[in-house]
């Protein structure tokens, strides 16, 4: 029974929304289906230039279907202007070198590497990689005299102008950042949990129930997981060179850390602790700041006064808590040296430490939200000129720093760039040596199936060949049905482009390849007698390109993304452990006036951040790689996010002592804190050594170390060494002593990560 037209018309949009979230692929395909045939008709039929028609068609296909920039419209238009300029440069370069084989191969390798590797500094460049490579592949595989260069540039220029008009007027993409909404939900959920927990601890007739505390905690955990999923689901790390985009990406790590702190510092629901009014005040101030940060994420162009006022209140609450923490001592003084005395001092400062840790995380988060919003509020000239609001480093410096972090043998991005560039160079050489008629498609086949390892490349090669074969059969059938009525092809071209744009996202890679093949068959037969022999050449070209991809993948990276993730994890834990050790050494050097303070471990922090970025790239390749995973995704995610906790805990120690590193106003007689310093250094040595052993185990696939247990004797030594600081004749403690104990608490927090990391690092069945 035939499906009624109205029913079919209702089902198609539903199917598209289910298979194409946000209709992103449909939007790109619809624009291209309108613009590409129109430009092709204008250049071939009106201007009578086949060269212009070819470059206008592939230029519009590339700029509208293969790339979609995000952000405000002015930012997208600026990116398209840059893409158009790059196309002009690459077309000129490709035309000049195309007629000399060795020069064409050499320049293809260099251009391929630079284009592929440049994606490491910005998701804008990473997302435009294929479009940029096509700008060089098209002329370098079509040798022609320089006299054709004006027509080539004119065709590409028409495509660029039409693309900018299309993205502005034809179904414009929403300007919302993909991370803003889930980040705002995490901020609000964490704020709700903080208020609920604080109200429960305070007690009273209107206090929430334990069930309400559990519900808010569950909602906060779910929001944090959703944010991480949205971040990991992007093919490229979603960051640009601007301060705003960099700040938004830092939010993901910081909100992950905040969620762990909030979950870990929740109240024990079986009983209420003694109320710490100062700690609860910090929690409520942090909740207010998080709510204001969420509002700013939702509406970045609003005035930031409310957020900044909330941050001022949070800082005041934290300063007051730290000051009054020096006066908070156990009511009952046990016998000196007993375990109960140690526990009393530690537990007395525990709530304030949790609040200090939470406040530091909130200040970091709110500061990045404020910076991102300031970038959104820039005037049009400021955005056009790239003026950065409050940037510590300008875009060029940030780009150099990010690229330098990947110029080392363990970088997945470096591996991919080298493999892709050499694969394209080999394809150019083979296409010339074998005299393949359409060498452009050899390179396109190579580019379309190069993946993270040889096995996956082979799978994509089979799908590409299968899709090409199916598309060729469909194209042959169409040509046979049409016969000499080539005018029909003009009506089929927009439909073919529309399907070619939607199919890869909504159906499969093979379906997209088939639809793309049909589009090319139609394009090459418009205006001439239909010739089905073109499909045989297309299969030959793609087969050669796929063979190049498989060989290059086997040679350069036979082990795939899993091995790269293991190496990146090992390097990230090694660098983060070094950063933690250096941060605590800096803290120990600030304990007394007589100590010679060490320099802040800024360089160690940069190395740890660079290793974390390399890990992020390797993890994305691991997620994108098809097939069975040697490690469960949940375990791999735990290991990756463990880096976040370790590195940001180091940031917290460093911030604690950079903000309050002196002894002014504490007391005239300098207490001896040498034993406290040695205890801190001994503790961080053991914690850092554990993480280094974990790194070695991950890199060599050897057993991981047993997690460290809490050392009561070590805590007792620390409290004993600070006895004079913790209780003087006036019954007061010094601020430095409190910071020493809080530093030990940060080390304890790093230790508490170890059981979950050790469990995740144990071998598991592939999934």
Residue 464 forms part of a structural domain: yes
Q: Alpha-carbon distance 519 to 517, whole Å?
A: 5
Tell me: the pLDDT tens digits for 10-36?
A: 566 777 777 676 677 888 889 999 999
Same domain, 321 and 443: no
**The two three-digit tokens of residue 43, written as one number:** 């250049």
**Residue 209 predicted with pLDDT over 50:** yes
Last residue of a domain, one of 175, 191, 213: 175
Burial class (CB in 10 A: 0-12, 13-18, 19+), 52: buried
**Residue 585 predicted with pLDDT over 60:** yes
Same domain, 546 and 592: no
Same domain, 344 and 436: no
Q: How many domains does the chain have?
A: 4
Q: Alpha-carbon distance 197 to 178, whole Å?
A: 30
CB atoms under 10 Å from CB of 45, counted, come to 12
Over residues 448-471, mean pLDDT = 60
**The two three-digit tokens of residue 595, written as one number:** 């100590």
> What is residue 730's predicted lDDT score, i.e. its pLDDT?
57
Residue 10 forms part of a structural domain: no
Give 146's DSSP letter: G
Residue 496 forms part of a structural domain: yes
What confidence category does residue 156 fall into, taking pLDDT thresholds of 50, 70 and 90?
very high
Same domain, 540 and 650: no
Same domain, 653 and 551: no
Tell which wins on pLDDT, 191 or 521.
Answer: 191
What confidence category does residue 248 fall into, taking pLDDT thresholds of 50, 70 and 90?
low
Whole-Å CA distances, 474 to 375, 469, 535: 50, 9, 10
**Residue 649 predicted with pLDDT over 70:** yes
In terms of DSSP H, where are the helices of 174-209? 180-202
Same domain, 756 and 729: yes
CATH code of the domain covering residue 582: 1.20.58
Tell me: the pLDDT tens digits for 610-634?
A: 888 888 777 776 766 655 556 676 7
What confidence category does residue 432 fall into, taking pLDDT thresholds of 50, 70 and 90?
confident
By residue range, what is the domain housing residue 245? 180-377
Same domain, 230 and 256: yes
User: Which of 236-250, 256-270, 567-581 shows the lowest per-residue confidence on average (mean pLDDT)?
Assistant: 236-250
Tell me: the pLDDT tens digits for 39-71?
A: 999 998 899 898 999 899 989 988 998 888 776
**Residue 1 predicted with pLDDT over 60:** no
Burial class (CB in 10 A: 0-12, 13-18, 19+), 77: middle
Burial class (CB in 10 A: 0-12, 13-18, 19+), 529: exposed
What confidence category does residue 529 fall into, taking pLDDT thresholds of 50, 70 and 90?
low
Same domain, 528 and 578: no
Residue 198 forms part of a structural domain: yes
Q: Alpha-carbon distance 555 to 303, whole Å?
A: 55
What confidence category does residue 729 fall into, taking pLDDT thresholds of 50, 70 and 90?
low
**The two three-digit tokens of residue 237, written as one number:** 């790390």
- Of 727, 751, 750, nearest to 738 (Cα)? 727
What confidence category does residue 165 fall into, taking pLDDT thresholds of 50, 70 and 90?
very high
Whole-Å CA distances, 737 to 277, 347, 351, 352, 649: 21, 15, 16, 14, 19
Residue 403 forms part of a structural domain: no
Tell which wins on pLDDT, 131 or 253.
Answer: 131
Three-state SS at 294: helix
Last residue of a domain, one of 175, 203, 218: 175
Q: Which span out of 153-167, 319-333, 368-382, 725-739 was modeled with the highest average pLDDT?
A: 153-167
Last residue of a domain, one of 558, 585, 601: 558
Same domain, 54 and 192: no
Residues with Cβ within 8 Å of 153's Cβ and at least 6 positions away in sequence, in order, are: 55, 88, 91, 92
**Residue 9 predicted with pLDDT over 60:** no
Tell me the HSE value of 687 on the side-chain side, using a 13 A CA sphere: 33
Chain-centroid distance of CA 308 in Å reads 27
3-state SS of 67-82 is: CCCCCCHHHHHHHHHH
Q: Alpha-carbon distance 430 to 437, whole Å?
A: 12
Whole-Å CA distances, 224 to 218, 229, 261, 367: 10, 9, 12, 19
Q: Alpha-carbon distance 491 to 580, whole Å?
A: 65
Same domain, 724 and 590: yes
DSSP string, 600-637: P-HHHHHHHHHHHHHHHHHHHHHHH--S--SS-HHHHH
Residue 268 forms part of a structural domain: yes
Q: Alpha-carbon distance 98 to 103, whole Å?
A: 8
Q: Which span out of 276-290, 476-490, 567-581 was modeled with the highest average pLDDT?
A: 567-581
Tell me: the pLDDT tens digits for 386-402?
A: 445 555 455 566 667 77
Same domain, 628 and 755: yes
> What is residue 265's predicted lDDT score, i.e. its pLDDT?
66
Chain-centroid distance of CA 158 in Å reads 34
Asked if 359 and 286 count as a contact pair (C-beta separation under 8 A), the reply is: yes
């Amino acid at each position: 029974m035939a499906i009624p037209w109205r029913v079919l018309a209702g089902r198609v949009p539903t199917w598209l929304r289910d298979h194409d979230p946000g209709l992103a692929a449909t939007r790109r395909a619809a624009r291209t289906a309108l613009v590409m045939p129109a430009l092709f008709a204008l250049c071939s039929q009106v201007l009578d230039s086949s060269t212009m028609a070819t470059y206008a068609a592939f230029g519009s296909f590339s700029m509208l279907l293969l790339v979609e920039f995000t952000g405000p419209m002015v930012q997208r238009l600026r990116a398209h202007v840059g893409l158009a300029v790059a196309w002009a440069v690459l077309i000129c370069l490709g035309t000049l070198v195309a007629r000399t084989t060795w020069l064409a191969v050499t320049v293809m390798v260099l251009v391929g590497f630079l284009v592929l590797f440049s994606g490491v500094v910005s998701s804008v460049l990473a997302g435009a990689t294929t479009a940029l490579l096509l700008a060089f592949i098209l002329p370098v595989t079509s040798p022609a005299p320089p006299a054709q260069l004006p027509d080539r540039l004119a065709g590409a220029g028409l495509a660029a102008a039409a693309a900018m008009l299309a993205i502005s007027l034809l179904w414009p993409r929403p300007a919302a950042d993909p991370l803003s909404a889930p980040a705002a939900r995490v901020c609000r959920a964490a704020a709700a949990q903080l208020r609920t927990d604080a109200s429960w601890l305070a007690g009273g007739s209107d206090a929430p129930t334990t069930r309400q505390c559990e519900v808010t905690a569950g909602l906060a955990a779910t929001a944090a997981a959703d944010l991480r999923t949205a971040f990991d689901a992007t093919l490229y790390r979603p960051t640009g060179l601007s301060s705003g985009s960099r700040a938004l990406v830092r939010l993901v790590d910081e909100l992950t850390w905040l969620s762990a702190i909030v979950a870990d510092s929740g109240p024990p629901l079986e009983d209420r602790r003694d109320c710490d009014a100062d700690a609860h005040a910090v929690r409520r101030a942090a909740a207010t700041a998080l709510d204001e940060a969420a509002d700013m994420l939702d509406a970045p162009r609003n005035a930031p006064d409310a957020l900044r006022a909330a941050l001022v209140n949070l800082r005041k609450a934290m300063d007051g808590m730290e000051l009054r923490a020096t006066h908070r001592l156990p009511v009952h003084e046990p016998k000196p040296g007993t375990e109960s005395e140690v526990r009393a001092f530690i537990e007395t400062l525990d709530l304030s430490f949790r609040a200090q840790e939470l406040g530091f995380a909130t200040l970091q988060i709110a500061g990045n939200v404020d910076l991102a919003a300031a970038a959104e509020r820039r005037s049009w000239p400021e955005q056009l000129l790239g003026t950065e609001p409050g940037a510590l480093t300008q875009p060029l410096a940030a780009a150099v720093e990010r690229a330098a972090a990947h110029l080392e043998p363990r970088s997945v991005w470096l591996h991919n760039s080298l493999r892709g560039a050499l694969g394209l160079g080999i394809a150019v050489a083979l296409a010339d040596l074998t005299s393949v008629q359409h060498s452009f498609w050899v390179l396109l086949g190579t580019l379309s199936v190069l993946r993270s390892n040889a096995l996956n490349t082979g799978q994509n090669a089979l799908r590409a060949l299968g899709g090409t074969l199916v598309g060729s059969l469909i194209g042959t059938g169409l040509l046979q049905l049409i016969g000499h009525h080539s005018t029909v092809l003009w009506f089929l071209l927009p439909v073919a482009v529309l399907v070619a744009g939607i199919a890869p996202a909504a159906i499969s890679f093979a379906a997209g390849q088939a639809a793309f093949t049909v589009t090319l068959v139609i394009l090459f037969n418009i205006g001439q007698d239909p010739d089905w022999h073109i499909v045989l050449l297309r299969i030959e070209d793609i087969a050669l390109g796929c063979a190049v991809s498989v060989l290059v993948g086997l040679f350069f990276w036979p082990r795939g993304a899993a091995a790269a993730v293991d190496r990146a994890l090992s390097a990230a834990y090694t660098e983060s452990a070094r950063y933690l050790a250096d941060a605590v050494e800096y803290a120990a050097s600030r304990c007394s006036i007589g100590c010679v303070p060490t320099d802040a471990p800024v360089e160690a922090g940069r190395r740890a951040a660079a290793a974390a970025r390399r890990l992020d790239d390797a993890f994305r390749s691991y997620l994108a790689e098809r097939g069975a995973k040697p490690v469960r995704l949940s375990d791999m995610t735990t290991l990756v996010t463990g880096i976040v906790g370790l590195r940001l805990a180091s940031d917290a120690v460093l911030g604690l002592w950079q903000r309050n590193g002196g002894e002014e106003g504490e007391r005239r007689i300098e207490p001896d804190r040498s034993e406290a310093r040695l205890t801190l250094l001994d503790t961080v040595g053991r914690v850092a050594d554990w993480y280094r052993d974990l790194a070695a185990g991950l890199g060599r696939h050897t057993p991981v170390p047993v997690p460290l247990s809490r050392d009561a004797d070590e805590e007792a030594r620390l409290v004993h060494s600070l006895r004079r600081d913790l209780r003087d004749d006036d019954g007061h403690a010094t601020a430095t002593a409190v910071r020493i104990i809080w530093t030990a608490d940060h080390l304890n927090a790093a230790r508490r990560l170890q059981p979950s990391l050790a469990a995740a690092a144990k071998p598991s069945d592939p999934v």
